[in-house]
Structure 1
């Protein structure tokens, strides 16, 4: 990783760790693939920290600008898969 993740410094350390784990899962979906259930669990944690759609879209845009990976497209694909499937972008 040669870029900065979008982070809100108002988040607690625990929240930052949870969001970074989610970003890493998005990267893994693009690079190797990962189980849908793992991704969706991390996404649920992310949504507890970032509940609003507008903020989620802003973070997705920032993340996509630095990484080239789309949170939105990854989650949409995952939602259309079965529980035990692998998300591979």
Structure 2
């Protein structure tokens, strides 16, 4: 997250939690088994979103920045 924020600025960062697992149905079981970790496995489901937020807070992200990452950036672009 920090790297992307550095590259693009906080107003251009967002996360989506709804598609990652769906992508893996297109990857063979052998390829998945050979991966040291699954790509996109930052958090395990929506129930763990508070852990991500806590991590962002611990890294110095302000409430407004976290709100942007969690959705207000998307809303701004969609408008």
| TM-score normalised according to structure 1 size | 0.29
Q: Larger relative contact order (C-alpha < 8 A, sep ≥ 6)?
A: 2
Structure with the higher fraction of residues in strand conformation:
1
